[in-house]
Amino acid sequence: MLGYIVRRLLMVIPTLIGVAVAVFFLIRVMPGDPVVVKLRADGAAVTEETIQAERKRLGLDKPLMVQFTDYMIGLTRLDLGKSLWTGESVANEIAIRFPVTLQVAIMATLIAVLIAVPLGTLCAVYRDTWIDNLIRVLAVSGLAIPGFWLGMLIILALLYFFNWLPKIGYVSIFEDPVANLSALFWPALSVGYRYAAVVTRMMRSALLEVMREDYIRTARAKGVYESLVTRRHGLRNALLPVVTVVGLEFAFLIGGLVVTEQVFNLNGIGKLFVDATARGDFTLIQGLVLLIATVFVVVNLLVDLLYAALDPRIRLT
């Protein structure tokens, strides 16, 4: 087991290096000049000379390969560089925003699992009845509703029915749990719906597949009650692909909350990413892309390990 983990971790490194190199060169061919945006966007009459001075200060006048070497050397010390826009360390910029995104992602996952596991099970048990069809239609529509639109509708409904909107600005859940949860529940719900739809469909098909397997038939043949069959034998094995989907979706949410954060005005990773690309903040974009890739890889690894824990048939060596 330990050997497997170590080997998996070692395999992660070339992938991340690949991402780091690719993103560096991709972003440098980006048109436009971040320094010009920084100094001229508000209409100031800034001369070319001043722009060159700022470029020099930020180290953007150095040859590309020198910048690349600096960046890669920095990475070995886990130093992501400094934001071109604020001059603050990229790690710090991300650390300020990460808790918001992480919490919304976790809450959305909880919402999705709480909705999807029972509904998916219902579908499989009452397969091809109206219950199954209704839930399936709901699930397909869950995939169809744009998350940002659902968010807008939620805001509209809150305003219309309660004349209330969550407070702006992030309060830590440890500081004021009520304010925190009442603000972050709605965005979590707006992404959670689609997420639940994905998981419900996976739950249903996984259960159906498992139910066809021999040991379930054996259990049935032995005269075990149907509900017991579903619970004891079906659910546990069906959870494997469901765990995978939940894990992957969770990983995607870390970077994929871009639109939701816009709608609900959250100061998270997604908003930071939108700002960084609009400003052409090279270093910040690099940092964020690396973060998103790392989260994905780590979650993937955890899912694999969980697989092993849940399914006695899998032996990781």
Partner 1 sequence: MADVTAGDAFADKIPKRTNPIVKFIVAQPLGFVGFLIVLLYFVLAVGAQWIAPYHPEEVDFGAMLTGPSPEHLFGTDQYGRDVFSRLVYGARTALAVGMLSAIVGCTLGAILGATSGYFGGIIDNVIQRLVDIMLSFPIIVLAMVVVAVLGRNMIAGIDANLIVAIALPMVPKMARIARSSTLSIAQMPFIDAARAAGYSHARIVLRHILPNIVAPYLIMLTAFIAQAILLEASLSFLGLGVTEPTAAWGLMLSGSSADFYQAAPWMILFPGLAITLAVFAFNLLGDSLRDWLDPKMKV
Partner 2 sequence: MKKLTLLSATALVALGGGLAEAQTPKKGGTLNFAVVAEPPTIDCHAVTTFAFAHPGLPHYSKLLKWKGDYKNLKIVPDAAESFEQAPDGMTYTFKLRQNVKFHDGAPMTSEDVKASYDRIINPPEGVVSARRSLYADIKSVETPDAHTVVFRMKQPNASMLTHFASPWNCIYRAAKLKEDPQFPAKTILGTGAYEFVEYVKGSHWTAKRFDGYFLPDRPYLDGYKAFFVKSNAVVTGMIGGQFDGEFRGRTPTERDQLVAGMKENATVVDGPWVTNLMFTFNTQKKPFDDVRVRQALTLAIDRWGGAPALSKISMLRDVSGLLRPGYEYALAGAELEALPGFSKDIAKSRERAKQLLKEAGVPNLKVKLVNRNVAEPYTPGGIFLIDQWRRIGVEVEHTQLETKLFFDAMKEGNFDVLVEFISDFADDPSAQFDKFLTKEKSSQAASGHNDKKLDELFDKQAREIDPVKRKALVNEFERHALTQVYSAPLLWWQRIIVHHKKIKGWEHQANHFTATDLVDVWLDQ
Residues numbered 61 to 80 that lie near partner 2 (CB under 8 A) are: none
In the complex with partner 1, the residue whose CB is nearer, 68 or 148, is 148
Backbone conformation region of residue 280, classed left if phi is above 0, alpha if psi is from -120 to 50, else beta: left
Q: Which spans of this chain sit near partner 1 (rule: CB under 8 A)? A: 15, 18-19, 22-23, 26-27, 29-32, 127-128, 133, 137, 140-141, 143-149, 152-153, 155-156, 159-160, 198, 201-202, 204-205, 208-209, 251-253, 255-256, 258-259, 262, 273-274, 277, 280, 285, 289, 292-293, 296-297, 300
Kindly report the backbone phi and psi dihedral angles of residue 176, in degrees, each rounded to the nearest multiple of 5, phi listed first: -145, 85
Contact 213, 73 (CB under 8 A): no
Beta bridge partners of 82: 89
Quote the CA–CA distance of 291 and 284 in Å, as a whole number. 10
Between 38 and 204, whose beta carbon lies closer to partner 2?
38
Q: Which does 289 bind (CB under 5 to 8 A by kind): partner 2, partner 1, none?
A: partner 1
**Please, what is the minimum distance in Å from the beta carbon of residue 174 to partner 2?**
16
The structure tokens 């001229």 sit at 40
Length, in residues, of the chain: 317
User: Is the Cβ of residue 33 or residue 79 nearer to partner 2 in the bound state?
Assistant: 33
Per partner kind, with CB cut-offs from 5 to 8 A, the member of partner 2, partner 1, none near residue 232 is: none
Contact 107, 100 (CB under 8 A): no
H/E run at residue 48 = helix 48-57
DSSP notation for 60-128? TTS-HHHHHHHHHHHHHTT---B-TTT-SBHHHHHHHHHHHHHHHHHHHHHHHHHHHHHHHHHHHHTTT
CB 177 → partner 1: shortest distance, Å? 29
Interface pick for partner 2 out of 27, 46, 179, 259 (rule CB under 8 A): 46
Nearer to partner 1, 160 or 162 (CB): 160
For partner 2, the binding residues in 161-190 under the rule CB under 8 A are 165, 167-170
277 binds partner 2 (CB under 8 A): yes
By CB under 8 A, name the one of 2, 3, 29, 43 that touches partner 2: 43
| 235 secondary structure, DSSP code | I
Q: Please report, as ranges, the residues that interact with partner 2 according to CB under 8 A.
A: 30-34, 36-50, 53-54, 56-57, 85-88, 93, 96-97, 165, 167-170, 262, 265, 267, 271, 277-280
